[in-house]
Structure 1
């Protein structure tokens, strides 16, 4: 912009000089200025004396400098933009390749943004996919690892490391697209946990048949939560306080008991002494066959493949994690503070 203003100023100075000093018409003055600045080599419009020729030399120099500045800035912008984009793409590619045991979030709409906030608060590694350039740029501004592409395509899922991912969340507004995502991700990684959003009960059933491990309808879930908030407000405040947010004092975590590394497998909950050693409370146990034992007592036997659902402070849960051994499928995350 500065170069264009400078060139326009040089043109104006040249035109006024030839018009006022040399006494030429505005058309001749402008023509002489243009051919001088363009250095096309035409002859003088009217004969010039020494004073006029000295000014023309100065005009040529000013024009060359202004045009050179414009060309330099334009070239710099093009080359710099090209290389910056190339560097950004290379960095993004390396980052995607380095992801492992991460979460994939498909869709950075209103629902997706809230999910991303929760993932970030929990400190889990995750990547976001969205087809909208505007939303991708917004996600980048917020510091998320985000990839622009169609999440229903295998190529896109492969680029964000679906084969090494732990979980994929299909949060697009279209039920059909969420179904495609579930089918594709399960094909590329049969072990991945797929969570999908459904708008209708029919879509919920189809997504379940398509292989989704968990299907959530915002309308059904929202209605249930609103009813619970009306009927049991203190309970809902407590539950919300331990499952989300960045200012929690109590947390709920799940731990998978691997018999090869966990020393308490086969013991009763009383003999394992988890509560006295850590202070954490075992709320429930999910058996390998899917059976849920809520509020287990001291005589409950801890079986191979059990998932313990425990509540405690961050430090209590970290101590519990050390006692249970290096659990490969579930690493305790250190909660972030705001």
Structure 2
């Protein structure tokens, strides 16, 4: 960078020196006034061709030719420096990165996804269908999904997620959730440790390849650890045992939100103040929105299926509701949650 700045300084210096040389020669040797000498020098080195202010002698013409060749050489030198500056500093890439950084700064309570492989793309498909703000970190972005690129809520960082500065650039201190889906367990473990250190309150969901790594990821600070191969095997077995039930549950979690029914998870923090410490019966959700409460998550993480109407919405608890799309929309409007 300093070398290029030095070259730029030299090019400007040569250009100023050339003007000085032309003015001095035209004034003292061709007997032009200072203004005419400056004018003659400028129209010569810029090759605009306005014509001479006075008839030129043979020596004047020779000097003018030399002045033109010198100016062309300096112009060429300047163009090469500018080209080198653009190529070495990736100026256009820097502009794009700056825009991405500004967009990330506008995100709050967003999701950071480390890894854009097969698992990562599947995760992003699901998140984008719910208009979630996502920052994707991936070193090798060879095949980007066109819909993901066009999405206003998705930002890609072509960086290494194991680096602290990259996670900070992704806004980890403002993020709500970190999802780690790299293919290397060691990298996943390192990112979990780093993310937990940078943001102690962030929710971390990580991918693992076996139970041993799952335990280590839990100890490192991951809230949840997913084993894709285990889930895939259980899903295939469930299709044999209870295919209709599996298909029904799949309909409730379709990627596109154009299905008739859907599940929604509402946390204590999402609820307005008047809902806090109230029982499910007192909320009158069925009457007000048409949604049915089918599950309750206790602060200790225990789930209750079909909770009693007397169950109270307390801190760190969640309720799970089932409803049609328009009913879920009414629920979100009631709770002032962006759908």
Task: Assess same fold via TM > 0.5.
Answer: yes
Distance of aligned partners of 1:236 and 1:77 in 2 relative to their CA distance in 1, 3 Å threshold: farther
Q: CA deviation at 1:167?
A: 0.5
2:239 and 2:197 map into 1 onto residues whose CA distance is: 39
Partner residue, 1:221: 231
Q: CA deviation at 1:76?
A: 9.8
1:88 and 1:228 map into 2 onto residues whose CA distance is: 46
Using the TM superposition, name which of 121-130 and 269-278 deviates more: 269-278
Using the TM superposition, name which of 277-286 and 298-307 deviates more: 298-307
- Give the secondary structure class of the aligned counterpart of 2:275: coil
Query: Taking structure 1 as the reference length, what is the TM-score of the superposition?
Result: 0.69
Partner residue, 2:265: 254
- Give the secondary structure class of the aligned counterpart of 1:275: helix
Distance of aligned partners of 1:139 and 1:79 in 2 relative to their CA distance in 1, 3 Å threshold: farther
**Is the counterpart of residue 193 in structure 1 residue 203 in structure 2?**
yes
2:271 and 2:294 map into 1 onto residues whose CA distance is: 24
1:248 and 1:134 map into 2 onto residues whose CA distance is: 33
1:252 and 1:319 map into 2 onto residues whose CA distance is: 13
Q: CA deviation at 1:319?
A: 2.3
**Is the counterpart of residue 130 in structure 1 residue 130 in structure 2?**
no
| Contact residue 130 and residue 136 of structure 1 kept, 8 A | no
Q: CA deviation at 1:226?
A: 0.9
- Give the secondary structure class of the aligned counterpart of 2:233: helix
| Contact residue 259 and residue 265 of structure 1 kept, 8 A | no
Tell me the C-alpha RMSD between the 2 structures. Answer: 2.9
**Is the counterpart of residue 166 in structure 1 residue 176 in structure 2?**
yes
Query: In structure 2, which of residues 283, 303, 323 is the aligned counterpart of residue 272 of structure 1?
Result: 283
**Is the counterpart of residue 242 in structure 1 residue 247 in structure 2?**
no
Please list the CA deviations of residues 169-224 of structure 1 after superposition, one character each: whole Å capped at 9, or x if unmatched: 11001111111111111110111110000001100111111110110001111111
| Contact residue 252 and residue 309 of structure 1 kept, 8 A | yes
Query: Taking structure 2 as the reference length, what is the TM-score of the superposition?
Result: 0.69
Distance of aligned partners of 1:259 and 1:160 in 2 relative to their CA distance in 1, 3 Å threshold: closer
Q: CA deviation at 1:156?
A: 0.8
Q: CA deviation at 1:119?
A: 1.0
Q: CA deviation at 1:312?
A: 1.3
Partner residue, 1:7: none
- Give the secondary structure class of the aligned counterpart of 2:296: strand
| Contact residue 259 and residue 325 of structure 2 kept, 8 A | no
**Is the counterpart of residue 311 in structure 1 residue 331 in structure 2?**
no
Q: CA deviation at 1:97?
A: 1.9
**Is the counterpart of residue 84 in structure 1 residue 95 in structure 2?**
no
**Is the counterpart of residue 93 in structure 1 residue 101 in structure 2?**
yes
Distance of aligned partners of 1:321 and 1:314 in 2 relative to their CA distance in 1, 3 Å threshold: same
Distance of aligned partners of 1:258 and 1:200 in 2 relative to their CA distance in 1, 3 Å threshold: closer
Uncovered stretches (5+) of structure 2, i.e. residues with no partner: 1-76
Partner residue, 1:33: none
In the comparison of the two structures, how many residue pairs are matched?
259
Query: What are the residue-to-residue correspondences of 1:204-219 with 2, within 5 Å?
Result: 204-219=214-229
- Give the secondary structure class of the aligned counterpart of 1:162: coil
Distance of aligned partners of 1:137 and 1:266 in 2 relative to their CA distance in 1, 3 Å threshold: closer
1:278 and 1:137 map into 2 onto residues whose CA distance is: 36
